[in-house]
Amino acid sequence: MSGESAFAALGRKLRLGVIGGGPSSFIGDIHRKAAKLDDRFDIVAGVVSSDAERSRQGGKQLGLPRPYATLAEMLGVERARPDGIDAVAIMTPNDRHYAECMAALHAGLDIICDKPMTNTIEEARELARRVQATRHVFCLTHAYSAYPMIRQARAMVAAGAIGALRAVQVEYLQAGMSLRVEDGTLTRKLRWKLDTAQSGPSLVLGDIGTHAHHLARFVTGLEVERLSADLGALVPGRRVDDYAAMLLGFEGGVRGTLTVSQALPGTENNITLRVFGETGHIEWTHDRTNHLRFAPLNRAVQILARGDPDLLPPAQRLVRIARGHPEGLLEAFANLYRDTAEAIAARLTGRPADPLALEFPTADDGAAGLAFITAPPSNRAPTTAPG
C-alpha cells in the first residue's frame, strides 16, 4: 500500500454522500464499511430511500451526520457548504443509476456506482461520454476485480506468464432464486429485481453476468466480439432470466464460455475464472480467494498465495495481512474505495495518481457491460439437432 502520493498530498479524508443503502440493505452496509476501512472517506451525508421521510429516518438511524430527504436536497445543500461532499456512492435499484449519476456529475462530484451501470446501452454510452467529458472519477463496483489474486492473475497474463491466450472460462453460480420466490411475500429488494423495468432487460445478466463478463475482460485485457447464448429461466413460470450460458469469441480469436445462474440449488456464489494460454493456465475461484492456481505446461501446478513475497506489484500492494491469514470480500471492496480515493485526490490536487491505483472499473467498463447484457436477446437457445 505504497505510493498513494495524491491522497497523501490532499491531507484530509474525502467526504462521501451515499445514495441508497438503507438500514436493512446488505450492500449498503458493505459500501459503508468498505468506504471507511482505510480512513480515506468520511460518510457525512446520504439519501437512503426514495421515500423522503424514510430517507431522513434511515440516515439518522445509520448515524449519518447529514441525512437528507432527496437527492436534489443533498446535492443542493452540500454544494453550498464549504465542507460539502466530494463524491457520491450509488447503491440504488438499477433503473435509477443513470439519472443519479448525471445529477452527481452535474453537481461536480465524483462517483462510485453499483453495477450494472444503467439499464440501457444508450444510457450507458451517454454516461460514459459525460464522464469522459467532465474528467470526473467514476468507479463501477465490480469488487471481485479488486481481490489481490485477481490482480495477480491479470498481471501474470499481461507479463506473458501463460503465453498467447487461447481460451477463457468464467462462471458465477448462485442458489438464491432457486425457489419460486415470486410466490411469497416479496422483499423490497426482490420486488425491484423481479420488475424488469427496474432491474433491466435480463436479471441474471445484470446481477451477476456483468461481474463474470467484467472479470474475464479485466484479467485477459480482451473484449468479447461475438457470442451465442442460451438464456432464460430454469424455474418454471419465471418471467425474468435466471440462467445464461454463452459461447464467446474474444478479440484475436480467443475462445471462451460464460455460465451464470441464480437458480442452481446448492451453489454458494461460486465464481471461477480460468484463462488458458499456450504455455499454461491460471485458475481463480471465489471460494479460495486468497490463492491462485497456476498450471504451467508439463510442470508442477503452483498455488500462489496472497502474501507470497514474489507476487507482482499490482497484487503485492493490496496485501493487507500476512500470508495464511484470510482476507475476504470486505477488503476487496475497500480496495476499490481506497484506489478511487487516490484518483479523486489526484483530480483535486492536480498531482499524478499512483498508476497502480487506476485499475478500478470505469464508466467505459459499465458501457461494455451494457453492450454485453443487451446483445443476446436475438439468440436465446441452441440451434442444431444432432443425429
Residues 212-231 that bind its own copies (CB under 8 A): 224-230
159 lines the binding site for its own copies (CB under 8 A): no
Binding of residue 23 to its own copies (CB under 8 A): no
Q: Is 24 in the site for its own copies (CB under 8 A)?
A: no
Q: List the one residue from 102, 103, 167, 358 that touches its own copies (CB under 8 A).
A: 167
Task: Mark 313-332 with x for binding to its own copies (rule: CB under 8 A) and - for no binding.
Answer: --------xxxxxxxxxxx-
Contact 248, 224 (CB under 8 A): yes
**Closest distance of CB 91 from its own copies, Å:** 15
Is 310 a binding residue for its own copies by CB under 8 A? The answer is yes
From candidates 3, 23, 37, 50, binder to its own copies by CB under 8 A: 37
Q: Which residue has the cell 474475464?
A: 216
The answer to whether residue 8 forms part of the interface with its own copies (CB under 8 A) is no
The single residue among 54, 255, 347, 351 that binds its own copies, judged by CB under 8 A, is 255
Whose CA is closest to 296, among 307, 283, 286? 283
Site membership for its own copies, residue 270 (CB under 8 A): yes
Residues 6+ apart with CB under 8 A from 1: 317, 318, 320, 338
Which member of 261, 262, 335, 362 binds its own copies (CB under 8 A)?
261
Residues 6+ apart with CB under 8 A from 352: 5, 6, 346
Give the three cell numbers for residue 23: 438500514
CB-based contacts of 38, cutoff 8 Å, min separation 6: 334, 337, 338, 341
Report angle CA 11, 44, 188 to the nearest 5 degrees: 140
**Residue 248 within binding range of its own copies, rule CB under 8 A:** yes
Of residues 142, 193, 211, 281, which one binds its own copies by CB under 8 A?
Answer: 281
Shortest distance (Å) from residue 160 CB to its own copies: 13
Residues in 110-149 that interact with its own copies by CB under 8 A: 121
Question: Any contact of residue 91 with its own copies (CB under 8 A)?
Answer: no
Instruction: Give the SS3 label for residue 348.
Output: helix
Binding window for its own copies (CB under 8 A); candidates: 80-88, 96-104, 187-195, 368-376: 368-376
Whether the CB-CB separation of 13 and 83 falls below 8 Å is answered with no
- Least Å from the CB of residue 21 to its own copies: 14
Helix 121-134 × helix 363-374 angle, to 10° = 170
Contact between 232 and 384 under an 8 Å Cβ cutoff? The reply is no
Among 159, 183, 300, 350, which residue sits at the site for its own copies (rule: CB under 8 A)?
A: 300
Interacting residues with its own copies between 180 and 209 (CB under 8 A): none
Is residue 237 involved in binding its own copies (CB under 8 A)? Answer: no
Cβ atoms 325, 170 nearer than 8 A: no
Of the pair 160, 352, the CB lying nearest its own copies is at 160
**92 Cβ neighbours under 8 A, 6+ residues apart:** 19, 20, 50, 100, 114
